[in-house]
């Protein structure tokens, strides 16, 4: 029942008990020669097929397709009616069902079928830790022996109750069985291949598995184990890379939750646009099709495009007002203006006390002056605080007024101090947004950090352009972007897609601490303006707008109040 490989060619029969008739001897010799020729032809065919199989297995990187290919090829070599592939789980405790096929019953489960196998895994060890040799599959995994059974109903030493129950419920008849361990190049058992009911190629009748078939499947199992180990190693490296991404994303989330939300949404929008490119049958993208590897490469770039922000100070990334640093200095300004008001009041009262014998008119004049100064200071404070808002565009007149206020002084503890510090005045004079030039350079530096971090990672060849795509999402077609001022044909389509996704997400995001959520029609008009200024790609934007990708994304991520666009509200791309 448990067999060694055996003689692949076989032996010739020797006759005894006298001399056979000449005709019979010639007939037997002819049969022997013909049998040998047949077996040699079978061996030659198997050798050729195994060579082809080795090439096919080594080139397959999808685990599900590889699982299915192993069973398909093993059944093809042996003529097996059914086959099952088990894979040892990560802890080495179970055999997990990954593929199940049975031609007679029309069953194809696992692999690429999309139909899961719902059977419980096979234990390699019992609850007490003892090895499980009752199941033939677990026995083979534990001992690494090949088991070749002529008829499972006559087999001794294994529990085939499950097989008999399946046969009784379906009308199937399990007979011959071949179970082979899959051992990789490091000598580690990674799976078990189980074949059922070998069929004679001429008659179609179920027969025992032949020695030739056994040796061929042993060779296949060995090649498949190596191929599967390579695939698992590749997938393990990919999982490690994605785990690194998730850990970075978690760090960014802990530092700035809205930045993590930005990354998630940019990934979603980038892949929506790329998928739409693949759907085009005419226009500029009719001949462009991103492969699965290229889509994964672009997705990784989208995931990693802001990884450099992990080094950007939080008070710069999340700067909601112009005066904000670690805290909003508007509170300091309020307190200072209150102090200025009280200082001027105290000064006026001191002057009044010194004016001994002053009449009611003098006192009234002093109090009126104090009231006017108080109102003027309050008006100046209100103006200063209005300039602190990022929504206020700073005109030349507004900047001049801030500079005039900042130039005033008050006395505190004998020291003359400005109403606004130079840094406060510089921040309040930011014409648009909340960032100074120095802070903007800090923000822009995240791209340099992103490129540096990603360039240090050993991406495989098929993902080698991730740093390029991620590091170019702030570049512009006219070369005025940053950090490397790449433009024109040097800017890849993937980077152009990522740039549109990044800008649109930033315009419409509703979780930014420094701005209100922008309505959809306004965001589309701004993007259209960027097309006219040669900042973003016109073809990408036209596809983005005409295909409705922008609208589908908006419905998924924007607040209902932002969805204000209609047939007349959306600009004509490039108009």
- pLDDT (tens digit per residue) in 94-138: 999 999 999 999 999 998 898 999 999 999 999 999 999 999 999
**SS3 at position 195:** strand
pLDDT at 4: 36
d(CA 519, CA 525): 10
d(CA 98, CA 217): 18
Residue 138 and residue 132 in contact, taking contact as beta carbons nearer than 8 Å? yes
Q: Model confidence at 413, in pLDDT bands (50, 70, 90)?
A: confident
**Which has the higher per-residue pLDDT, 151 or 186?**
151
Q: Model confidence at 18, in pLDDT bands (50, 70, 90)?
A: very low
Place of tokens 């022997």: 32
* Tokens standing for residue 258: 């809205």
**Which has the higher per-residue pLDDT, 224 or 200?**
200
When mean pLDDT is compared over 44-58, 232-246, 260-274, the highest value belongs to 260-274
> Is it the case that residue 48 has pLDDT exceeding 70?
no
pLDDT at 56: 57
Residue 72 and residue 217 in contact, taking contact as beta carbons nearer than 8 Å? no
Alpha helices in 327-359 (DSSP H): 330-354
pLDDT at 289: 96
> Is it the case that residue 415 has pLDDT exceeding 50?
yes
Percent of the chain with pLDDT over 70: 85
User: What's the average model confidence in pLDDT over 252-279?
Assistant: 88
d(CA 109, CA 71): 12
Residue 182 and residue 193 in contact, taking contact as beta carbons nearer than 8 Å? yes
> Is it the case that residue 573 has pLDDT exceeding 50?
no
Q: Model confidence at 20, in pLDDT bands (50, 70, 90)?
A: very low
Residue 224 and residue 185 in contact, taking contact as beta carbons nearer than 8 Å? no
Q: Model confidence at 6, in pLDDT bands (50, 70, 90)?
A: very low
User: What's the average model confidence in pLDDT over 247-276?
Assistant: 86
* Tokens standing for residue 48: 């050729």
d(CA 368, CA 256): 50
Opening angle at CA 231, ends 229 and 73, nearest 5 = 85
End-to-end CA gap in the chain: 80
User: What's the average model confidence in pLDDT over 257-268?
Assistant: 86
> Is it the case that residue 468 has pLDDT exceeding 90?
yes
**Least confidently predicted of 8-12, 200-204, 309-313:** 8-12
Provide φ and ψ at 133, rounded to 5°. Answer: -105, 5
pLDDT at 392: 74
**Least confidently predicted of 106-110, 165-169, 515-519:** 515-519
Q: Is the pTM of this model over 0.85?
A: no
Of 68, 121, 116, the residue nearest 95 (C-alpha): 121
Residue 337 and residue 383 in contact, taking contact as beta carbons nearer than 8 Å? no
User: What's the average model confidence in pLDDT over 178-187?
Assistant: 87
Cα–Cα separations (whole angstroms), residue 104 to 70, 101, 119, 174, 204? 19, 9, 20, 11, 12
Place of tokens 């130039």: 407
Q: Model confidence at 57, in pLDDT bands (50, 70, 90)?
A: low
**Least confidently predicted of 186-190, 250-254, 537-541:** 250-254
Q: Model confidence at 272, in pLDDT bands (50, 70, 90)?
A: very high
Whole-number average pLDDT of the chain: 84
pLDDT at 235: 73
pLDDT at 357: 60
Query: Residue 110's beta-bridge partner residues?
Result: 99
CA atoms within 13 A on the CB side of 494: 24
pLDDT at 542: 96
Cα–Cα separations (whole angstroms), residue 508 to 427, 496, 551, 560, 567? 25, 19, 12, 12, 19
**Least confidently predicted of 127-131, 439-443, 449-453, 544-548:** 439-443
> Is it the case that residue 8 has pLDDT exceeding 70?
no
**Which has the higher per-residue pLDDT, 247 or 231?**
247
User: What's the average model confidence in pLDDT over 260-282?
Assistant: 94
pLDDT at 270: 98
pLDDT at 566: 52
d(CA 196, CA 501): 53
Q: Model confidence at 19, in pLDDT bands (50, 70, 90)?
A: very low
> Is it the case that residue 575 has pLDDT exceeding 70?
no
Q: Model confidence at 311, in pLDDT bands (50, 70, 90)?
A: confident
User: What's the average model confidence in pLDDT over 539-556?
Assistant: 96
pLDDT at 82: 96
pLDDT at 349: 82
d(CA 467, CA 469): 6
Residue 197 and residue 187 in contact, taking contact as beta carbons nearer than 8 Å? no
Q: Model confidence at 498, in pLDDT bands (50, 70, 90)?
A: very high
**SS3 at position 394:** coil
Residue 300 and residue 453 in contact, taking contact as beta carbons nearer than 8 Å? no
**Least confidently predicted of 259-273, 287-301, 343-357, 434-448:** 343-357
> Is it the case that residue 470 has pLDDT exceeding 50?
yes
Place of tokens 């152009």: 496
Provide φ and ψ at 9, rounded to 5°. Answer: -90, -35
Contacts of 131 (CB under 8 A, 6+ apart): 124, 125, 138, 142
């Amino acid at each position: 029942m448990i067999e060694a490989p055996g003689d692949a060619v076989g032996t010739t029969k020797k006759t005894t008990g006298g001399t056979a008739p000449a005709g019979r001897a010639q007939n037997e010799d002819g049969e022997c020669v013909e049998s040998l020729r047949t077996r040699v032809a079978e061996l030659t065919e198997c050798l050729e097929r195994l060579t082809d199989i080795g090439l096919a297995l080594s080139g397959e990187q999808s685990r599900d397709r590889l699982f299915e290919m192993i069973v398909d090829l093993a059944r093809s070599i042996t003529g097996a009616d059914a086959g099952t592939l088990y894979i040892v789980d990560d802890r080495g405790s179970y055999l997990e069902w990954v593929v199940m096929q049975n031609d007679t019953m029309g069953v194809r489960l696992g692999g690429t079928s999309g139909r899961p196998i719902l059977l419980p895994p096979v234990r390699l060890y019992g609850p007490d830790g003892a090895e499980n040799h009752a199941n033939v599959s677990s026995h083979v995994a534990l001992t690494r022996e090949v088991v070749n059974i002529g008829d499972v109903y006559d087999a001794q030493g294994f529990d085939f109750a499950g097989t008999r129950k399946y046969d009784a419920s379906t009308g199937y008849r399990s007979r011959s069985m071949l179970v082979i361990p899959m051992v990789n190049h490091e000598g580690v058992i990674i799976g078990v291949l189980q074949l059922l009911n070998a069929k004679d190629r001429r008659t179609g009748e179920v027969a025992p598995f032949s020695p030739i078939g056994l040796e061929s499947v042993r060779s296949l199992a060995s090649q498949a184990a190596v191929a599967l180990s390579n695939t698992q190693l590749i997938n393990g490296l990919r999982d490690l890379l994605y785990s690194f991404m998730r850990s970075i994303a978690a760090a960014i989330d802990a530092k700035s939750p809205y930045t993590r939300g930005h990354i998630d949404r940019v990934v979603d929008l980038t892949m929506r646009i790329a998928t739409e490119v693949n759907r085009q049958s005419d226009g500029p993208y009719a001949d462009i099709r991103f492969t699965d590897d290229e889509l994964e490469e672009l997705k990784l770039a989208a995931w990693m495009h802001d990884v450099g922000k992990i080094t950007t100070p939080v008070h710069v990334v999340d700067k909601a007002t112009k005066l904000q640093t670690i805290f909003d200095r508007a509170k300091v300004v309020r307190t200072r203006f209150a102090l200025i008001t009280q200082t001027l009041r105290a000064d006026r009262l001191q002057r009044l006390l010194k004016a001994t014998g002053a009449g009611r008119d003098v006192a009234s004049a002093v109090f009126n002056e104090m009231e006017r100064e108080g109102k003027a200071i309050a008006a100046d404070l209100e103006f200063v605080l209005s300039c602190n808002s990022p929504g206020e565009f700073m005109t030349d007149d507004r900047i001049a007024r801030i500079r005039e206020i900042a130039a005033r002084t008050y006395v505190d503890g004998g020291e003359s101090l400005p109403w606004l510090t130079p840094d406060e005045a510089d921040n309040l004079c930011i014409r648009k947004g909340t960032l100074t030039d120095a802070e903007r350079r800090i923000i822009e530096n995240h791209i340099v950090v992103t490129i540096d971090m990603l360039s240090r990672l050993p991406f495989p060849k098929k993902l080698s352009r991730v740093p390029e795509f991620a590091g170019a999402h702030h570049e512009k077609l006219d070369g005025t972007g940053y950090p490397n001022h790449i433009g024109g044909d040097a800017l890849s389509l993937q980077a152009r897609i990522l740039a549109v996704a990044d800008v649109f997400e930033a315009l419409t995001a509703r979780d930014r601490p420094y701005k209100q959520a922008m309505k959809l029609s306004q965001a589309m008009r701004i993007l259209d303006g960027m097309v006219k200024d040669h900042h973003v790609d016109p073809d990408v934007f036209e596809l983005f707008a005409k295909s409705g990708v922008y609208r589908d994304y908006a419905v998924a991520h924007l607040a209902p109040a932002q969805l204000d666009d209609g047939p007349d509200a959306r600009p004509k791309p490039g108009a």
